[in-house]
Amino acid sequence: MPCIVGGMQIPSSIVRLPDQWFIVCHASTLRRRPVATVLQGSRLVVFRGRNGAPAALADRCPHRNAPLSAGRVVRGELECSYHGWRFDGGGACRAIPGLCGEPERHGRRAVAHAACERDGFVWVYSTPDAAPGGEPPRFARVDAPGYATIRQALSFPGTLFHALENALDVPHTAFLHAGLFRTSRRRHEIDVVVRRFADRAEAEYVGEPRPTGLVGRLLAPGGGVVVHVDRFLLPSVAQVEYRLGDDNHLLVTSAMTPVDDFVTQVWTVVSLRLRIPTRLLVPIVTPLATRILRQDRAILALQTQTIRRFRGEQLASTEIDVLGPQIWHLLTAAARGEPSVPGLQHEHRVRMAI
């Protein structure tokens, strides 16, 4: 899709996704005060309504344009700090102080977005004043028995597409994360089966030896062959899964929120089960996960700076960029609102040395 920078139209990986659910904050942050947030460039305010369920409105009072996030929550309604107009979770005006008569007849509605709480996060529907066509995705294995669960949130300075591809890109792990996942010296040739469905794409790494880095040694101290599958799930979920036997399981799920064209908020949940007691895992894995995410954040910042300096993107791909083209195909189809056809749409096999 094109992007306008300095008055020039340039090639761009920017997409805007209508009719999709995105995380905007941790549910625990919604207490007595409203929370200001941004989704695809639109400024929103999130608060808990009368029944305690989250609600989301455009962060602008329709009366005199004051930010509603500067107000307060009064009995489940959001009160503007300027004149005291109050709005319910659906955007209806419920009170206009000093007015004799029904406030709904005189007051304008605030723009509202559907919102819900799931897996400890607040999700908001990207299209305003629209009934959602489905529910938000779930985080598998969150707080499941026998699993350690680690949550991380980090803002990435990059487009949604580049953040998603980065999370599911195997070749960079031997360089950017050298010693943590893999190294560039020891290579094994394996087959990768790439599949694209109507709502997701996946890459299955067949016969992959245990990764040589620290994470691999933690997952499988005795070595062996792992079951490794990377997945992209519409609209913006990246998932990396490793298994070795029945005991060792690593599942990293990152739900990504396009804050604006060049900022992506990444909400990551790591679910881990090993032979080691779970209470011992968190102090070991948490700093590793943080370090990896910060390395990814740093390289995306440099990537975005380069795109801006050159006033556009230039992409060259090979067959080992296995999921990038599939992600882009699904994202652009969703951005255009194209109806999806159920079932397997594409499959091919790639030979890769990792």
Q: Over the stretch 83-125, which tens digit does the pLDDT of each residue have? A: 999 999 999 999 999 988 788 776 789 999 999 999 999 999 9
The pLDDT of 146-163, averaged and rounded, is: 94
Asked if 200 and 246 sit in the same domain, the reply is yes
Please check whether residue 259 lies inside any domain of the structure. yes
The pLDDT of 302-321, averaged and rounded, is: 92
- Residue 73: per-residue pLDDT: 97
Asked if 314 and 276 sit in the same domain, the reply is yes
**Cβ contact 122:36 at 8 Å:** no
- Residue 1: per-residue pLDDT: 43
- Residue 276: per-residue pLDDT: 75
Please check whether residue 240 lies inside any domain of the structure. yes
Whether 7 shows a pLDDT value over 60: the answer reads: no
CB within 8 Å of 114: residues ≥ 6 apart: 56, 124, 125, 130, 131, 132
**Cβ contact 74:90 at 8 Å:** no
Which of the listed residues 125, 140, 159 is the one where a domain comes to its end? Answer: 125
Please check whether residue 21 lies inside any domain of the structure. yes
Asked if 112 and 172 sit in the same domain, the reply is no
Asked if 91 and 194 sit in the same domain, the reply is no
Reduced 3-state DSSP string for 296-336 = HHHHHHHHHHHHHHCCCCCCCCCCCCCCHHHHHHHHHHHHC
Please check whether residue 86 lies inside any domain of the structure. yes
- Residue 43: per-residue pLDDT: 98
Quick one: how far is CA 286 from the chain centroid? 19
Residue 224: pLDDT band (50, 70, 90) is: low
Whether 10 shows a pLDDT value over 60: the answer reads: no
Asked if 64 and 159 sit in the same domain, the reply is no
Widest CA span in the chain? 78
Whether 167 shows a pLDDT value over 90: the answer reads: yes
Burial (Cβ within 10 Å: 0-12, 13-18, ≥19) of residue 97: exposed
Please check whether residue 136 lies inside any domain of the structure. no
Asked if 51 and 159 sit in the same domain, the reply is no
Whether 278 shows a pLDDT value over 80: the answer reads: no
**Cβ contact 157:262 at 8 Å:** yes
Whether 19 shows a pLDDT value over 90: the answer reads: yes
Which of the listed residues 125, 156, 191 is the one where a domain comes to its end? Answer: 125
- Residue 282: per-residue pLDDT: 79
Q: What's the rounded Cα separation, in Å, for the pair 84 and 82?
A: 6
Asked if 174 and 209 sit in the same domain, the reply is yes
Please check whether residue 132 lies inside any domain of the structure. no
Residue 2: pLDDT band (50, 70, 90) is: very low
Asked if 280 and 169 sit in the same domain, the reply is yes
CATH of the domain at 173: 3.90.380.10
Q: What's the rounded Cα separation, in Å, for the pair 75 and 81?
A: 15
For 253-271, the pLDDT digits (tens) are: 999 999 999 999 999 999 9
For 39-55, the pLDDT digits (tens) are: 999 999 999 998 999 99
Please check whether residue 135 lies inside any domain of the structure. no
Which of the listed residues 90, 125, 160 is the one where a domain comes to its end? Answer: 125
Asked if 188 and 284 sit in the same domain, the reply is yes
- Residue 219: per-residue pLDDT: 65
Q: Which range has the top average pLDDT, 2-11, 277-286, 309-318?
A: 309-318
For residue 119, give its domain range: 15-125
Q: How many domains does the chain have?
A: 2
Q: How many CA atoms lie within 13 A of 327 on its CB side?
A: 28
Asked if 112 and 164 sit in the same domain, the reply is no
- Residue 244: per-residue pLDDT: 82
Among 193, 230, 186, smallest CA distance to 209 is for 186
Asked if 337 and 192 sit in the same domain, the reply is yes
- Residue 168: per-residue pLDDT: 97
Residue 139: pLDDT band (50, 70, 90) is: very high
CATH of the domain at 38: 2.102.10.10
Calculate the average pLDDT of the chain. 89
Asked if 19 and 98 sit in the same domain, the reply is yes
- Residue 9: per-residue pLDDT: 41
Please check whether residue 142 lies inside any domain of the structure. no
Question: Residues of the chain with pLDDT > 90: what percent?
Answer: 65
**Cβ contact 35:27 at 8 Å:** no
Residue 3: pLDDT band (50, 70, 90) is: very low
Whether 170 shows a pLDDT value over 60: the answer reads: yes
For 172-190, the pLDDT digits (tens) are: 988 898 877 666 666 789 9
**Cβ contact 280:142 at 8 Å:** no
